């Protein structure tokens, strides 16, 4: 099971804690011209190699930008144009596993940019084939299989997920069943399963990409009353998935069984992002919600969104290979220990 390390009794009640100052100062601030649609890190980024320290972003009415994560300077720009030769913005972006291409999602199309050729050169692939077969709508999420199987998944606001071959963009499957527009797609560590989540959809769906016919299981998260994109993540060993929700909780699921195993209150506001560190026993959660002035007697106001906590929180975990219960002390082992394949992660 998983519970957070609150850092002592003084911080035990996270939902009611109000910090006057941030625990950390920003190491880098990059300002975009409009709302940020998506971003992604270069897959081979290493702090010891400044050349590789870059990330890409896409914003409304702007081209794709690649930024230097050390200096904050703009490295290069990748532009896509519409039928009237105006810049059109990508709604989702992702580096391919080799790191030499950027795949960008647009309305009923995917554009592929060569990382080494900034500018307006790209390959365009329509997601809608003849006789209206294929994937329609805005391509809102892109993910590549980490197992180097040459597959990628794309989510669309028309409530479908498609799986393609990377080399020729051949359509392999179309997955139906999400209640809302797909906002996040993620492969399992072995590349055999795909997890998809949708807007105002309370379930993350697990698909076996070797069959891709039926849903293996569904994982619940509270998201029925928010339009936010809620990110989820799989921990480095590939056994657990963590996701936030509009109730401020982080839920942890066992991916072998699809069963809920733990949860904790991460914020008093919507937890819209949760991400495990790629190799350290740590995780980050983000919270916050856009609010508008509403009459006090409005019956449609959702009470569980009254909290106001726009922040990022860092959580530390330990790894327990001998018990399924939580030990809040120092009994955990290294998350990356190869001898703990059958254990569970727990916070310190």
Question: pLDDT band at 306, cuts 50/70/90?
Answer: low
Q: What's the mean pLDDT in 8-31?
A: 62
Higher pLDDT, 82 or 141: 141
pLDDT computed for residue 25 by the predictor:
84
Encode pLDDT of 40-91 as tens digits.
999 999 989 999 999 999 999 999 999 999 999 999 999 999 888 899 999 9
Cα–Cα distance for residue pair 167/341, rounded to 1 Å: 34
**pLDDT beyond 50 at 98:** yes
**pLDDT beyond 90 at 287:** yes
Q: What's the mean pLDDT in 221-239?
A: 92
pLDDT computed for residue 4 by the predictor:
53
Q: What's the mean pLDDT in 173-178?
A: 91
pLDDT computed for residue 333 by the predictor:
28
pLDDT computed for residue 324 by the predictor:
43
CA distances from 27 to 69, 71, 288, 318 (A): 9, 10, 21, 27
CA dihedral 316, 143, 176, 272 (to 10 degrees): 40
pLDDT computed for residue 7 by the predictor:
46
Q: What's the mean pLDDT in 135-142?
A: 95
pLDDT computed for residue 1 by the predictor:
47
What phi-psi label fits residue 341: left (phi over 0), alpha (psi between -120 and 50 degrees) or beta?
alpha
Nearest to 212 by CA among 153, 125, 167: 153
pLDDT computed for residue 212 by the predictor:
74
pLDDT computed for residue 66 by the predictor:
96
**pLDDT beyond 90 at 133:** no
Does residue 264 sit in helix, strand or coil? Answer: strand
What DSSP assignment string belongs to 94-142?
EE-TTSSEEEEEEBTEEEEEETTS-BS--EEEESB-GGG-B--SBEEEE
Query: Which positions ≥6 away from 85 have C-beta within 8 Å?
Result: none
| Size (the chain), residues | 348
**In whole numbers, what is the pLDDT of the chain averaged over residues?**
83
Whole-structure pTM over 0.85, yes or no?
no
Q: Would strands 215-220 and 203-208 be described as parallel, antiparallel, or unpaired?
A: antiparallel
Instruction: Report the Cα 269 to chain-centroid distance in Å.
Output: 18
Higher pLDDT, 211 or 328: 211
What is the CB-side half-sphere exposure of residue 119 using CA atoms within 13 A? 3
Instruction: Report the Cα 12 to chain-centroid distance in Å.
Output: 27
**pLDDT beyond 80 at 247:** yes
Is the distance from CB of 183 to CB of 154 less than 8 angstroms? no
pLDDT computed for residue 13 by the predictor:
43
pLDDT computed for residue 227 by the predictor:
87
pLDDT computed for residue 299 by the predictor:
54
* Highest-confidence segment of 92-96, 222-226, 310-314, 342-346: 92-96
**pLDDT beyond 80 at 286:** yes
Residue 148 is classified by DSSP as -
Instruction: Report the Cα 334 to chain-centroid distance in Å.
Output: 25
Question: pLDDT band at 293, cuts 50/70/90?
Answer: low
Residue 303 is classified by DSSP as G
């Amino acid at each position: 099971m998983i519970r957070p390390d609150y850092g002592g009794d003084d911080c035990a009640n996270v939902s009611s804690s109000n910090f006057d100052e941030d625990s950390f100062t920003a190491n880098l601030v990059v300002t975009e011209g409009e709302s940020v649609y998506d971003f992604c890190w270069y897959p081979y980024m290493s702090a010891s190699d400044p050349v590789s320290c870059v990330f890409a972003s896409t914003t409304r009415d702007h081209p794709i930008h690649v930024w230097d994560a050390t200096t904050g300077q703009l490295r290069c720009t990748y532009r896509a144009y519409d039928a009237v030769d105006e810049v059109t913005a990508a709604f989702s972006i992702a580096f391919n596993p080799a790191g030499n291409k950027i795949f960008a999602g647009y309305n009923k199309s995917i554009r592929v940019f060569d990382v080494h050729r900034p500018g307006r050169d790209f390959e365009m692939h329509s997601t809608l084939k003849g006789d209206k077969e294929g994937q329609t709508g805005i391509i809102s999420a892109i993910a590549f299989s980490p197992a180097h199987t040459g597959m990628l998944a794309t989510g669309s606001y028309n409530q479908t997920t498609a799986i393609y071959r990377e080399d020729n963009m051949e359509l392999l499957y179309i997955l139906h069943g999400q209640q809302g527009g797909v906002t996040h797609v993620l492969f399992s560590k072995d590349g055999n399963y795909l997890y998809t989540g949708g807007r105002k959809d309370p379930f993350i769906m697990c698909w076996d990409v070797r069959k891709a016919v039926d849903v293996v299981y569904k994982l619940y998260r509270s998201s029925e009353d928010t339009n936010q994109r809620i990110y989820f993540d799989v921990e480095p060993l590939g056994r657990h998935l963590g996701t936030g929700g509009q109730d401020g909780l982080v839920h942890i699921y066992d991916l072998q069984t699809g069963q809920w195993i733990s949860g904790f209150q991460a914020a008093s506001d919507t937890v819209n992002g949760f991400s495990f560190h790629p190799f350290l026993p740590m995780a980050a959660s983000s919270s916050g919600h856009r609010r508008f002035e509403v009459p006090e007697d409005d019956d449609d106001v959702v009470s569980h969104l009254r909290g106001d906590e726009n922040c990022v929180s860092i959580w530390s975990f330990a790894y327990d290979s001998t018990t399924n219960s939580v030990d809040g002390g120092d009994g955990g082992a290294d998350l990356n220990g190869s001898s703990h394949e059958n254990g569970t992660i727990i916070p310190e």
